[in-house]
Amino acid sequence: MRRRTFFGVGALGLVAAGTCSWWTREPDPPLDLVSLSGRQSRQFVPAGVGVELWAILRIEVDQGPVEERPPVHVGLVIDTSASMEGAAIEAAKVAAAELVGSLQDGDRLTVVTFDSRAELVVPNVELDDDAREECLELLAAIEARGTTDLAAGLHMALDDLMPHASEGRVTRVVLLSDGVPNDASSIPSAVSSASMAGITVTALGFGLDYDETLLASIAQQTGGTFHFLEEPGALVPLFREENARLQGIAAKELVLTLTTGPNVELREIVGQPYALPQPRVFMGLGDLSRGEERVVVARLSVGPHRAGATVELLDGRLTWRDPRTGQTMDEEVFLSARAEDDAAVLAEAVDRELEREIESAKAAALTLHAVALSRDGNDVDAVQMLNEAAPSAMAAAERLEDPRLLEQANEMAELAGALEGELEEDLPIPMAEPEQDGEQTRGSGGLGGVVTMPAPKSARSKRALRQAHGNAMSNFQARQNIVTKQ
């Protein structure tokens, strides 16, 4: 079922319109660019027993006609700690200057840097030629020094953005960091504030020493995107890509609501940190640009149903705001199956296209879990998970003839090999005996009287972790459509 929400004109409005001059016209209607579709892995479920199946919900944005975009509000939050000194800070300045130069008159800009403290380099300003020139001069004077107070930088940027977040603009924070924050304890409150205000964060992890799980979480919880950049030369192209996304924003403040039917439980939204089961889940998806899509993969547990019964699986409702008109729009989809006891009917083949999407999402989620384990110092479990998951993904890739899944399987195997090499270098260090009680002290490695001290990770392992993490994240955020609507 499909439904659009439009605001009608009442009788009073018609009378008023009649008194206006003849050249007055109604505002342009919102463009019909966003679509929501859904499919499940099987159309039939066995009668009388419980079963699991998968649901795929796809949000697509058409390219649409070329037209002027609405004004945007950009907050640049740039890491200027000492580790950025040299080529990195110079590349960041060039990339930021290009982005600022590409913004239109009437757009708003905030620039914050953070090192040992946060600094409001460019207080919120509406751009014109003079303001743009002054901003570029201030960006050119940025220097690298000190430590990494990322939390202060993010809070300062949001404080400067918030007073203008309700103006109907598309508001975006672009956060660049190459290190681990001094203190991350206040970052969740900043992320929550951004999410509630409809401010998305594009998080860029630069180099090999940033906290990938933290930056990705900031992006994911605000409906933004995360990217891994290893070399300074990648900064300018990525900022150009971000500018292109800003130029094409077609829907903002997207929220996908999933509601299960009777005797159906939502057990997992792959790659998303929701506590399940819940009868209803609200997913904030940020904004989408023309030619982009978001894919949501959900695992459902279906209870027993009598033969011939229609199984009401899932309602999906998408709401968003048109950035041109500010108008709220929505679209709905409903998924159902039929309970059957006919073995021939139940032997239906699973849709290969859906199975590819499901297997790719599962492989990406397992990769992210393994990276998080490694980040917490648990390389043993990370390696075990990857060694179990990689062959399974490889077999599915060959069966489904899916090159994307094959690449994911190879990446998991390579990451497992890199982390195994790290485990071989871990050194057992004897611990001192406790002075008071007679119990033997146990180290984190689980061996009485001995603690395993992990050696610092090699560049090979860091690179493998960052690349695997960055590629896995692409499954759960906005990506380019392969095919757009005609």
DSSP codes joined into one string, 88-146: HHHHHHHHHHHHHHHSPTT-EEEEEEESSSEEEEEEEEE--HHHHHHHHHHHHT----S
Is 1 a domain residue?
no
Any idea what DSSP says for residue 458? P
Any idea what DSSP says for residue 168? S
With 50 as the cut, is the pLDDT of residue 441 above it? no
Residue 309 to residue 337: CA distance in whole angstroms:
9
The answer on 475 and 414 residing in a single domain is yes
Cis preceding-peptide flag for 403 (omega within 30 of 0): no
Average pLDDT (155-160) is: 97
Is 462 a domain residue?
yes
Is 441 a domain residue?
no
Residue 139 to residue 127: CA distance in whole angstroms:
15
With 80 as the cut, is the pLDDT of residue 21 above it? no
Of the candidates 324, 346, 368, which is a domain's last residue? Answer: 346
Average pLDDT (450-478) is: 83
Q: State the total domains in the chain.
A: 3
DSSP codes joined into one string, 324-360: TT--EEEEEEEEEEEEE--HHHHTPPPPHHHHHHHHH
pLDDT score at 482: 54
Candidate from 84-93, 437-446, 458-467 with smallest mean pLDDT: 437-446
Is 6 a domain residue?
no
Residue 305 to residue 309: CA distance in whole angstroms:
6
Q: What is the pLDDT of residues 84-128, one digit of tens each?
A: 999 999 999 999 999 999 999 999 999 999 999 999 999 999 999
Give pTM, 2 decimals. Answer: 0.85
The answer on 37 and 108 residing in a single domain is no
The answer on 334 and 287 residing in a single domain is yes
The answer on 205 and 82 residing in a single domain is yes
With bands split at pLDDT 50, 70 and 90, how would you rate the model's confidence at 197?
very high
CB-CB contact of 155 with 120 (8 Å): no
The answer on 296 and 409 residing in a single domain is no
Is 378 a domain residue?
yes
The answer on 200 and 173 residing in a single domain is yes
Taking the CA atoms of residue 273, residue 172, residue 202 and residue 289 in that order, the dihedral angle to the nearest 10 degrees is 90
The answer on 303 and 162 residing in a single domain is no
Amino acid at residue number 286: G
The answer on 277 and 232 residing in a single domain is no
**Alpha-helix runs per DSSP H in 162-296:** 187-196, 212-221, 235-247
In whole angstroms, what separates CA 334 from the centre of its chain? 25
The domain in which residue 265 lies consists of: 28-66+250-346
Is 40 a domain residue?
yes
CATH of the domain at 164: 3.40.50.410
The answer on 470 and 386 residing in a single domain is yes
Of the candidates 331, 346, 361, which is a domain's last residue? Answer: 346
Other Cβ atoms less than 10 A from the Cβ of 425: the count is 11
Average pLDDT (210-218) is: 95
Is 443 a domain residue?
no
Residue 395 to residue 401: CA distance in whole angstroms:
10
pLDDT score at 30: 66
The answer on 397 and 459 residing in a single domain is yes
Of the candidates 185, 213, 247, which is a domain's last residue? Answer: 247
The answer on 217 and 110 residing in a single domain is yes
For helices 352-375 and 212-221, what crossing angle results, to 10°? 130
The answer on 474 and 379 residing in a single domain is yes
For helices 187-196 and 212-221, what crossing angle results, to 10°? 20
Is 439 a domain residue?
no
Q: What is the pLDDT of residues 39-68, one digit of tens each?
A: 999 999 999 999 999 999 999 999 888 777
Sequence-distant (6+) residues with CB within 8 A of 154 are 77, 114, 173, 175, 187, 190, 218
In whole angstroms, what separates CA 133 from the centre of its chain? 33
CATH of the domain at 274: 2.60.40.3670
Q: What is the pLDDT of residues 289-318, one digit of tens each?
A: 999 999 999 999 999 999 999 999 999 999
Average pLDDT (398-415) is: 96
Q: What is the pLDDT of residues 339-366, one digit of tens each?
A: 999 999 998 777 889 999 999 999 999 9
